[in-house]
């Protein structure tokens, strides 16, 4: 087991009607907030009205910025920074899923900084402060509601890059599973894939003596395998939605990292797909991750056998461990197909004409590797693309 530091300072307020407490939570930290959300669905559903009424009841002023899109845009982050400065905003409240939360976190980083907020994402600067962020979660997926991470897309440069800092871990996250009832099935599947990937990319590690966190990862994954189809078949099944929403936070709040070193090569590769083709993140991961597995499994066949047996319920063939390992990968891929996710680049209408560009961007023109389970260079990424063509 590796040395580690662990903290998760986000106050989780979980359950039915929990969004009605938002005013009292915000009042603890601010009297004027920026409300960040996506399109019109939050307004049409009445959620924004319920939230603003709760703020109003506590004497809290608010300013709104909407229009958050999947693969959240740097341009909107900068617009939000300017608005916060103009309005003397003290706190940011994100309403939605990962894109709204990541936009809010980017704004929070940029408000006190005199330079370009993009500096943080490209490693040019390190933030010394940030304004606080709170969340009303509607889409379980990114786990951003209790994580230290934000991912933003720079439209001009076709780059999608993440950044992590304890400064932007949300102060609170209000999580009512009922708010996820109206999510379209495809987005449920894509969000659930993202949750699983946050766990899987921690599960495949070179760290040893990590059976406790192995079991935590396996339990979360098995829960997702059971509950995602149930939530898709029964959209208002509270129990299924609750399990998925809580799994999303646990998958990315740092707990599954403890004592181990994760990989995240698949996330980095998928970011290049998202930056150029603007695809849904979970859909891209469903394509890339099984191909990554097929490419690297021989590095540690025993770990892939463990995954196959413990998570995917493959009967172990002690004489042919590689066949057991491959069966586990195959069953994971079949699960993605079952819930309606793509597993080939062609299904996303992505050809091979920009493979070189994406592999170059991912590895800094082959000046660095990505991932830690098996460090990947440009040629490896090209080979992974070929496996999921």
- Domain of 83, CATH number, reads 3.40.50.1970
Q: In terms of residue numbers, what domain contains 377?
A: 184-387
Q: How confident is the model at residue 51 (pLDDT cuts 50, 70, 90)?
A: very high
Per-residue model confidence as pLDDT tens digits over 296-306: 999 999 999 99
Q: Is the confidence at residue 39, as pLDDT, over 80?
A: no
Q: How confident is the model at residue 371 (pLDDT cuts 50, 70, 90)?
A: very high
Last residue of a domain, which of 133, 154, 179? 179
Phi and psi, residue 31, nearest 5°: -115, -5
- Separation of alpha carbons 113 and 129, rounded Å: 8
- Say yes or no: 203 and 89 in one domain: no
Per-residue model confidence as pLDDT tens digits over 88-138: 999 999 999 999 999 999 999 999 999 999 999 999 999 999 999 999 999
Name residues whose C-beta falls within 8 Å of residue 29's C-beta, 6 or more positions apart in sequence: 90, 91, 132, 134, 171
- Say yes or no: 380 and 318 in one domain: yes
- Say yes or no: 331 and 255 in one domain: yes
Q: How confident is the model at residue 233 (pLDDT cuts 50, 70, 90)?
A: very high
Per-residue model confidence as pLDDT tens digits over 236-248: 999 999 999 999 9
Q: How confident is the model at residue 184 (pLDDT cuts 50, 70, 90)?
A: very high
- Say yes or no: 165 and 213 in one domain: no
For residue 40, the model assigns a pLDDT of: 75
CB atoms within 10 A of CB 176: 24
* Joined tokens for residue 104: 């809010």
Per-residue model confidence as pLDDT tens digits over 52-96: 999 999 999 999 999 999 999 999 999 999 999 999 999 999 999
Last residue of a domain, which of 158, 179, 200? 179
- Say yes or no: 126 and 188 in one domain: no
- Say yes or no: 120 and 55 in one domain: yes
- Say yes or no: 150 and 189 in one domain: no
Percentage, residues of the chain above pLDDT 70:
100
- Say yes or no: 161 and 80 in one domain: yes
Q: How confident is the model at residue 45 (pLDDT cuts 50, 70, 90)?
A: confident
For residue 44, the model assigns a pLDDT of: 82
Strands 159-164 and 149-154 come out as antiparallel
Can you tell me whether residue 297 is helix, strand or coil? helix
Can you tell me whether residue 183 is helix, strand or coil? coil
Q: Is the confidence at residue 226, as pLDDT, over 80?
A: yes
Last residue of a domain, which of 150, 179, 208? 179
The pTM score is 0.95
- Say yes or no: 86 and 227 in one domain: no
């Amino acid at each position: 087991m590796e040395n580690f530091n662990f903290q998760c300072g986000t106050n989780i307020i979980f359950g039915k009607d929990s969004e009605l407490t938002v005013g009292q939570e915000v009042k603890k930290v601010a009297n004027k907030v920026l409300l960040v959300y996506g399109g019109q669905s939050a307004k049409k559903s009445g959620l924004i009205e319920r939230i603003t009424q709760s703020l109003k009841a506590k004497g809290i002023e608010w300013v709104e910025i909407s229009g958050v899109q999947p693969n959240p845009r740097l341009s909107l982050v900068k617009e939000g920074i300017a608005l916060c400065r103009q309005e003397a905003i003290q706190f940011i409240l994100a309403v939605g899923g990962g894109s709204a939360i990541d936009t809010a976190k980017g704004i929070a980083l940029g408000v006190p900084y005199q330079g370009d907020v993009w500096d943080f994402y490209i490693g040019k600067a390190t933030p010394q402060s940030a304004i606080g962020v709170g969340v009303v979660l509607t889409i379980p997926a990114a786990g951003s509601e209790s994580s230290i991470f934000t991912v933003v897309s720079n439209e001009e440069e076709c780059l999608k890059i993440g950044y992590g800092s304890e400064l932007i871990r949300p102060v609170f996250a209000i999580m009512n599973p009922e708010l996820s009832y109206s999510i379209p099935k495809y987005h449920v599947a894509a969000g659930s894939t993202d949750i699983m990937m946050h766990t899987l990319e921690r599960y495949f590690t070179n760290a040893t003596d990590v059976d406790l966190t192995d079991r935590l990862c396996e339990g979360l994954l098995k829960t997702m395998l059971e509950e995602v189809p149930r939530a898709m078949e029964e959209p208002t099944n509270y129990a299924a939605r609750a399990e998925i929403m809580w799994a999303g936070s646990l998958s990315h709040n740092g707990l599954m990292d403890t004592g181990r070193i994760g990989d995240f090569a698949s996330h980095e590769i998928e970011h290049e797909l998202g930056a150029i083709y603007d695809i849904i993140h979970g859909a891209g991961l469903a394509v890339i991750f099984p191909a990554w597995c097929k490419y690297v499994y021989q590095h540690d066949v025993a770990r892939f056998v463990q995954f196959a047996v413990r998570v995917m319920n493959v009967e172990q063939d002690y004489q042919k461990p590689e066949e057991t390992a491959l069966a586990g990968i195959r069953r994971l891929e079949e699960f993605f197909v079952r819930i309606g996710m793509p597993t080939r680049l062609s299904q996303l209408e992505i050809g091979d004409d920009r493979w070189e560009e994406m592999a170059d961007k991912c590895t800094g023109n082959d000046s660095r590797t990505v991932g830690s389970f098996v460090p990947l260079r440009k040629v490896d990424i090209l080979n992974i693309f070929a496996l999921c063509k």
